[in-house]
């Protein structure tokens, strides 16, 4: 952290962890707690708050990096980069509505959960854009990894390990992200009325085209209605200079003519549609549980069909069919069906939202094979030997 306030806030986190380490007290790590409902509930006596770790510490637009305290609201960072015509590349979603939170999410929360939006399919996940971190491990030591440059293979990549570790290894205090220019325009080619298999085939063809498609989602009719479409839609997005968007959307319509006539959404309509896909708007208002399933894209429709047969499901697919969002009853039976279907397809799954009772009772992410589970336990101990940081959040006992 730079700046006196930042350093003081970081020192505060260090002191708090040191105290917890000394006393062996488990702590829950929280920013604005907007995604507290993810994964397993943490049983902890105390909480360490990262909200004081705030403020942009570095922004060098021509070097494509921005750094900020982990407690900085994501909106503040997005506004800062937008002011220079840039954007956060991985398109981090905002799931406040899904979790019923009104608090703005923080940079630390986005990185600790490694949540990425539709652009992930072309430009990488949030973790791919974390260039450097400062973090406090479970011993209360400040650990730095990476830095402020875009290319860095010096030492083990702790930046990636901490991204998506849900605060179970260390508490992020400052993060440097790579940013990219915000394209001049967006456009979306819409293929309507396709069944899921045809829809994913269309998206595969789009992603396999030379036109740099950077968003590919399929919404069955029910989900599509949430975006104002009358029937199922397969959406392929292009972001670029205006001339390129016009040219490429045109080429896509021609080359994918076998999937029927396609409409093109303009810039404003594209922004709205992809924000809705990003934030899982089609599942807003669903009670019960929500899962995210990640599979080989061509396996997506099969998994969706299997689950729709198993329970009353509302679903849609992003990442060209590779990410299946599915809502259903918050029951162990439904959960078992998800585990079975995703496992059969060779994919992975995440119980994204569920009542505490369910998420405390079942694994919320796949259990690892024994050899890997041993490594998981050892690596956890390498950061947090007393197991005080967010205990049990990812796996029971870790």
Partner 1 sequence: MQQPEPKRHVLARRDAIVAGLRGILPESGVIAEALRMKPYETDGLPAYRQMPLAVALPETTEQVAAVLKFLHREGVRVIPRGAGTSLSGGALPLEDAVVVGMMRMNRILEIDYADRCATVQAGVTNIGITNAVQAEGFFYAPDPSSQLACMIGGNVGMNSGGAHCLRYGVTANNLLGLRVVTIEGEIIDIGGHHLDAAGYDWLGLLTGSEGQLVMVTEVIVRILRGPEGARAMLAAFKSNEIAGQCVDSIISSGIIPVALEFMDRPAIHACEAFAHAGYPLDAEALLIIEVEGSVAEQDFLLGRIKEICSQFDPISLKVAESAEQSLAIWKGRKGAFGAVGRISPDYLCMDGTIPTGQLPLVLRRIGEMSDACGLKVANIFHAGDGNLHPLIMFDANDPASFATAEKFGADILRLCVEVGGCLTGEHGVGVEKRDLMPVQFSPDDLAQQRRIKDAFDPGWLLNPSKVFPLQAPHTLAIAA
Q: Looking at residues 62 to 91 of the shown chain, list those that interact with partner 1 (rule: CB under 8 A).
A: 62-64, 84-85
Q: Is 160 an interacting residue with respect to partner 1 (CB under 8 A)?
A: yes
- Shortest Cβ 237–partner 1 spacing (Å): 16
What residues does 263 pair with on adjacent strands? 190
Q: Is 382 an interacting residue with respect to partner 1 (CB under 8 A)?
A: yes
Tell me, what DSSP letter sits at residue 50?
-
Binders in 7-46 for partner 1, by CB under 8 A: none
The 3 state secondary structure assigned to 208-259 is: CCCCCCCEEEEECHHHHHCCCCCCCEEEEEEEECHHHHHHHHHHHHHHCHHH
Q: Is 156 an interacting residue with respect to partner 1 (CB under 8 A)?
A: yes
Nearer to partner 1, 74 or 115 (CB): 115
Binds partner 1 (CB under 8 A): choice among 31, 55, 73, 297: 297
Q: Which two tokens stand for residue 236?
A: 């392929």
Binds partner 1 (CB under 8 A): choice among 181, 228, 260, 285: 181
Residue pair 202/234 in contact (Cβ under 8 Å)? The answer is yes
Binds partner 1 (CB under 8 A): choice among 42, 192, 207, 326: 207
Residues touching partner 1: how many (CB under 8 A)? 84
Calculate the CA dihedral of residues 62, 63, 69, 71 and round it to 10 degrees: 70
The CA distance from 325 to 280, in Å, is 8
Binds partner 1 (CB under 8 A): choice among 5, 142, 225, 360: 142
- Shortest Cβ 109–partner 1 spacing (Å): 16
Q: Residue 13 CA to chain centroid, in angstroms? A: 25
Q: Is 261 an interacting residue with respect to partner 1 (CB under 8 A)?
A: no
Binds partner 1 (CB under 8 A): choice among 114, 249, 270, 390: 114
State whether residue 281 is helix, strand or coil: helix
Binds partner 1 (CB under 8 A): choice among 24, 287, 369, 397: 369
Binds partner 1 (CB under 8 A): choice among 157, 255, 263, 279: 157
Q: Of 104, 130, 116, which Cα lies nearest the Cα of 31? A: 104
- Shortest Cβ 198–partner 1 spacing (Å): 13
Nearer to partner 1, 1 or 158 (CB): 158
Binders in 322-351 for partner 1, by CB under 8 A: 322-323, 346-350
State whether residue 353 is helix, strand or coil: strand
Q: Is 209 an interacting residue with respect to partner 1 (CB under 8 A)?
A: yes
- Alpha-carbon torsion (159, 165, 170, 175), positive or negative: positive
Residue pair 190/264 in contact (Cβ under 8 Å)? The answer is yes
Binders in 347-366 for partner 1, by CB under 8 A: 347-350, 365-366
The CA distance from 117 to 194, in Å, is 23
Binds partner 1 (CB under 8 A): choice among 52, 78, 97, 161: 161
Task: Tell me which stretch binds partner 1 (CB under 8 A): 44-52, 151-159, 280-288, 330-338.
Answer: 151-159
Q: Is 241 an interacting residue with respect to partner 1 (CB under 8 A)?
A: yes
- Shortest Cβ 266–partner 1 spacing (Å): 20
Cα–Cα distances in angstroms (integers) from residue 206 to residues 85, 186, 302, 328, in the given order: 27, 15, 20, 30
């Amino acid at each position: 952290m730079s700046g006196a306030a930042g350093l003081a806030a970081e020192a505060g986190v260090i002191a708090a962890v040191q105290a917890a380490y000394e006393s062996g007290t488990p702590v829950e790590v929280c920013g604005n707690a907007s995604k507290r409902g993810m994964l397993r509930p943490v049983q902890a006596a105390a909480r360490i708050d990262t909200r004081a770790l705030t403020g942009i510490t570095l922004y060098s637009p021509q070097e494509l990096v921005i750094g900020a305290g982990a407690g900085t609201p994501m909106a503040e960072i997005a506004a800062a980069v937008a002011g220079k015509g840039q954007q956060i590349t991985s398109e981090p979603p905002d799931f406040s509505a899904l979790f019923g939170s009104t608090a703005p999410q923080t940079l630390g929360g986005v990185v600790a959960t490694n949540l990425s939006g539709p652009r992930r399919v072309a430009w990488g996940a949030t973790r791919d854009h974390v260039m450097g971190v400062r973090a406090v491990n479970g011993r209360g030591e400040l650990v730095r990894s990476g830095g402020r440059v875009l290319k860095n293979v010096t030492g083990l990549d702790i930046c990636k390990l901490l991204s998506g570790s849900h605060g179970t290894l260390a508490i992020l205090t400052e993060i440097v992200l790579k940013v990219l220019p915000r394209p001049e325009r967006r456009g979306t080619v819409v293929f309507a009325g396709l069944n899921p298999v045809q829809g994913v085939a269309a998206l595969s063809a789009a992603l396999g085209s030379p036109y740099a498609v950077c968003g590919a989602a399929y919404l069955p009719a029910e989900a599509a209605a949430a975006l104002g479409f009358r029937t199922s839609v397969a959406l392929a997005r292009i972001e670029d200079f205006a001339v390129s968007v016009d040219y490429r959307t045109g080429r896509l319509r021609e080359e994918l003519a076998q999937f029927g006539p396609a409409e093109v959404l303009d810039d404003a309509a594209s922004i709205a549609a992809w924000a809705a896909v990003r934030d899982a708007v089609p599942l807003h208002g669903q009670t019960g549980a929500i899962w995210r399933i990640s599979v080989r894209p061509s396996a997506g429709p099969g998994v969706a069909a299997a689950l729709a047969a198993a329970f009353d499901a509302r679903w849609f697919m992003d990442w060209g069919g590779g990410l299946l969002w599915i809502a259903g009853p918050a029951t162990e039976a439904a959960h078992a069906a998800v585990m079975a279907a995703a496992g059969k397809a060779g994919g992975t799954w995440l119980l994204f939202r569920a009542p505490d009772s369910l998420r405390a009772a079942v694994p919320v992410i796949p259990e690892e094979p024994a050899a890997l589970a041993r490594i998981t336990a050892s690596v956890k101990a390498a950061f947090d030997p007393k197991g005080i940081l967010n205990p049990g959040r990812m796996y029971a006992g870790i």
